[in-house]
Amino acid sequence: MYDSGKLDAMHDSEARRLVIGGEIPTPFSLPWTLGLLQLGQIMCGATLVHPSWAITAAHCLIGANIVPSMFQVAVYRHNLPRLVEHPCSELIVAKSIYKHPSYNGYDVENDIGLIELSRPASCAQAGNPNYDPRMLAAIDGLSAPTVLVPGPTADSSYLGVDATVSGWGSTAPGGQVYPMLMRSASVPVVKPSKCSSLVGAIASTEVCAGPLEGGVDSCTGDSGGPLAVVAPHMATLVGVVSYGVSYACAQPNKPGVYARVSAFTSWLPRLLPSWPRTRPLPLRGRGRAATWAPSSARYRTLSSST
């Protein structure tokens, strides 16, 4: 399974992200969370933001001889190896993939990408009898209800708020225990200046989250997955699992680092079609794949289990 984190020189010290210290959520309660497969092997996570589009990490989309058809997204899944577990469960092949143009593959800045699906997710469409509007996460900073145009950035309102990270990443600090069932965890968003003092200077395109006492974190295999602020009827995608500075995830004073979604509101609408989404009301108070490198990548097939 892929790690998430700084590339090449960082492979020995950076952990690819997975959920540690979390819990098994109620099945299908976080339906915006996708599994990202490459050649049938789970490698990253992603977030459904439109019936035909998903957001992931740019480092999940790089490698030699990569073509979109190598990728599939697992939609509406709880038990990942179970191919059919709900009428909304499906595997959809990618039609196109896009990395942020400023992502260079050698550092972690601008670690965000888009996947256009070959067909819409069926239950994300209102005409489907099993329609579930919760499947589509709102995009932080894109607040217009009918068109994707930059809206007011709400990063500051999320400081200290508990956001939810979810996926099928490792549940052990060493990054070697991969669950069949989705895991999720609540992690507080950390002030940028505080995070920089703990993990080194972070870019303006990044946001940190995790309890400073440690014990809860994304980890190996969670790369590209969502960091979302969850309201009763909608999730807002605030971050994309990117990297960590400790190989053993969930260490004290080492919060996970995520691509800050609202930093990309001038790029995302260039590719995403318009879609009527609204944002939840502001919250008050408190309420992580590498390059295609065999030496560093960690894979598992859908039939594997631990």
User: What is the average per-residue pLDDT within 49-56?
Assistant: 96
259 lies in a domain? yes
Phi/psi at 261 (nearest 5 deg)?
Answer: -60, -40
Instruction: Place 284 in a pLDDT band, splitting at 50, 70 and 90.
Output: very low
| Residue tagged active-site, from 3, 111, 140, 162 | 111
Could you tell me the CATH number of the domain that includes residue 283? 2.40.10.10
Instruction: Tokens 């995302």: give the residue.
Output: 268
Measured between alpha carbons, how far is 201 from 197 in angstroms, rounded to an integer?
Answer: 7
| Residue tagged active-site, from 223, 242, 246, 296 | 223
Give the per-residue pLDDT at 177.
60
223 lies in a domain? yes
Measure Cα distances from 79 to 57, 169, 179, 183, 194 in Å.
22, 13, 9, 10, 37
Instruction: Place 31 in a pLDDT band, splitting at 50, 70 and 90.
Output: very high
Measured between alpha carbons, how far is 31 from 34 in angstroms, rounded to an integer?
Answer: 8
pLDDT per residue as tens digits for the range 234-271: 899 999 999 887 666 788 888 989 999 999 999 998 89
pLDDT per residue as tens digits for the range 210-242: 888 877 877 777 889 999 999 887 899 999 999
Phi/psi at 23 (nearest 5 deg)?
Answer: -145, 170
84 lies in a domain? yes
**H and E: helices and strands count for the chain:** 2, 14
129 has a pLDDT exceeding 90: yes
Give the per-residue pLDDT at 157.
58
Active site includes 59?
yes
Give the per-residue pLDDT at 60.
93
Give the per-residue pLDDT at 176.
61
How many domains are there within the chain? 1
Half-sphere exposure of 127 (CA within 13 A, CB side): 2
| Residue tagged active-site, from 59, 78, 86, 100 | 59
Domain that holds residue 215: 8-126+133-300
Q: Among 54-58, 105-109, 169-173, which is the least confidently predicted range?
A: 169-173
Instruction: Place 148 in a pLDDT band, splitting at 50, 70 and 90.
Output: very low
306 lies in a domain? no
184 lies in a domain? yes
305 lies in a domain? no
Give the per-residue pLDDT at 85.
82
Instruction: Tokens 């400790």: give the residue.
Output: 246
Higher confidence at residue 28 or residue 250?
A: 28
The proportion of the chain whose per-residue pLDDT surpasses 90, expressed as a percent, equals 46
70 lies in a domain? yes
256 lies in a domain? yes
The CA-based diameter of the chain, rounded to the nearest angstrom, is: 50
Instruction: Place 94 in a pLDDT band, splitting at 50, 70 and 90.
Output: very high
